[in-house]
C-alpha cells in the first residue's frame, strides 16, 4: 500500500492504533517544565536518525495555512509516499503530516500573537511541532511540546532548526490524566477521533481549567467524532479557515478548519 493510500486509510479509521498508544502510556505523577523533558535546547540527535529523517522527508512550506513555517514532511516526492507501509522502520509517522486542526491553530496564533505572548504554552499531541513553533515565533514565554512518539520529538528538533529557533522542551510521556501543570494555555489539534481518548481529554482539560484556570484552544476540521462528542456543546467558535486545495484532497475533501475555545464558565478574553 502506498503511503498516500495509507494516509487515506488512517483518516478513515486507523487512528485507533494511535489512540491505544496514548491509553497504554500512563501519565507520570508530576510533570513540571524541567523534569518532563526528553529533549531540550542543545540536545543533539543521533546522526543516523538525523540522516534517515533528512533523507526521507521533504522541506516544505507550501500547500498549508502557514507558509511562514518550514517543516519536514512526507510528500509525494518522498520515497515512503509510494513504498509499502511495512517497509517504514518505525511507528506510524503521524508527525510527518500537517493535519488541518494543527494548521488552523498555528495560523490563528501567528495572526494573533497576543494569545500566547508572555505566556506558558503546552502543545498537546504536537506531531510535527508547527503549533509550538508558531507559539515561539509569537512570543510565548515558555513552550512545551508533547507527543508520545519519540520520532516526532526528533522531527520537531529538525523543524526548529529549519525555522532558526532553539529547540523547545519536548516530552514523549502520555500526560493525559497526569497531575495538572501550571500552563497558561493548552493547544491541541486533530485529537478527538477516538471516543475513549476524547473522554480522557475532556476530563483532563476540564480539570486544568478548574484547578489552574488554563485556557484551552482546540483545532479541528469538523470530523464526525469531534462534532458528536459532548465537549462540542461547551466550545466557542473563534475562527474558521478555508483549507488549501492540497490539504482538502489529502483529508477526504474537508474544506475548512476551525479554532475553538473550551472555557465552560468564561468567555474568551479579548487580546
- SS3 labels along the chain: CCHHHHHHHHHHHHCHHHHHHHHHCCCCCCCCCCCCCCECCCCCCCHHHHHHHHHHCEEECCCCCCCCCCEEECCCCCHHHHCCHHHCCCCCCHHHCCCHHHHHHHHHHHHCHHHCECCEEEEECCCCCHHHHHHHHCCECEEEEECCCHHHHHHHHHHHHHCCCCCCCEECCCCCCCCCCCCCEEEEECCCCCHHHHHHHHHHHHHHHHHHCCEEEEEECCCHHHHHCHHHHHEEEEEEEECCHHHHHHCCCCCEEEEEEECCCCCCCCC
Confidence of residue 258 (pLDDT cuts 50, 70, 90): very high
pTM: 0.86
Domain boundaries, given as residue ranges, for the chain = 45-262
- Is residue 40 a contact partner of residue 157, using CB atoms and an 8 Å limit? no
C-alpha cell at 182: 501550571
- Nearest-5° angle of CA 120, CA 247, CA 1? 110
Confidence of residue 15 (pLDDT cuts 50, 70, 90): very low
pLDDT at residue 35, as a whole number: 38
pLDDT at residue 29, as a whole number: 29
- Is residue 122 a contact partner of residue 187, using CB atoms and an 8 Å limit? yes
Exposure of 61 by Cβ count < 10 A (0-12 exposed, 13-18 middle, 19+ buried)?
Answer: middle
Report residue 51: phi and psi, to 5°.
-65, -40
pLDDT at residue 138, as a whole number: 98
Architecture of domain 45-262: 3-Layer(aba) Sandwich (3.40)
Encode pLDDT of 34-67 as tens digits.
334 455 544 567 899 999 999 999 999 999 999 9
Encode pLDDT of 130-182 as tens digits.
999 999 999 999 999 999 999 999 999 999 999 999 999 999 999 988 888 99
pLDDT at residue 193, as a whole number: 85
Q: Which has more pLDDT, 10 or 129?
A: 129
Average pLDDT of span 94-122? 97
Q: Choose the most confident range, by mean pLDDT, from 62-66, 82-86, 227-231.
A: 62-66
Amino acid at each position: 500500500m502506498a503511503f498516500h493510500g495509507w494516509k487515506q486509510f488512517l483518516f478513515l479509521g486507523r487512528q485507533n492504533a494511535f489512540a491505544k498508544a496514548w491509553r497504554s502510556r500512563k501519565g507520570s505523577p508530576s510533570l513540571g517544565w524541567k523534569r518532563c523533558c526528553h529533549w531540550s535546547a542543545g540536545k543533539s540527535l543521533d546522526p543516523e536518525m538525523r540522516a534517515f529523517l533528512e533523507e526521507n522527508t521533504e522541506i516544505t512550506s507550501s500547500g498549508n495555512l502557514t507558509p511562514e513555517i518550514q517543516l519536514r514532511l512526507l510528500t509525494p516526492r518522498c520515497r515512503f509516499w509510494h513504498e509499502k507501509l511495512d517497509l517504514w522502520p518505525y511507528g506510524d509517522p503521524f508527525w510527518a503530516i500537517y493535519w488541518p486542526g494543527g494548521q488552523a491553530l498555528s495560523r490563528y496564533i501567528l495572526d494573533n500573537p497576543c494569545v500566547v505572548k508572555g505566556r506558558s504554552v503546552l502543545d498537546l499531541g504536537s506531531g510535527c511541532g508547527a503549533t509550538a513553533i508558531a507559539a515561539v515565533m509569537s512570543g510565548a514565554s515558555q513552550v512545551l511540546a508533547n507527543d508520545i512518539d519519540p520520532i516526532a520529538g526528533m522531527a520537531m528538533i529538525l523543524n526548529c532548526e529549519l525555522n532558526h529557533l532553539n529547540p523547545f522542551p519536548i516530552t514523549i510521556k502520555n500526560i493525559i490524566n497526569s497531575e495538572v501543570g501550571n500552563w497558561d494555555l493548552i493547544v491541541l489539534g486533530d485529537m478527538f477521533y477516538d471516543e475513549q481518548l476524547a473522554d480522557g481529554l475532556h476530563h483532563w482539560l476540564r480539570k486544568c481549567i478548574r484547578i489552574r484556570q488554563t485556557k484551552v484552544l482546540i483545532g479541528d476540521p469538523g470530523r464526525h467524532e469531534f462534532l458528536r462528542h459532548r465537549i462540542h456543546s461547551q466550545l466557542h467558535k473563534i475562527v474558521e479557515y478555508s483549507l488549501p486545495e492540497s490539504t482538502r484532497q489529502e483529508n477526504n475533501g474537508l474544506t475548512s478548519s476551525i479554532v475553538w475555545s473550551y472555557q465552560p464558565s468564561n468567555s474568551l478574553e479579548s487580546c
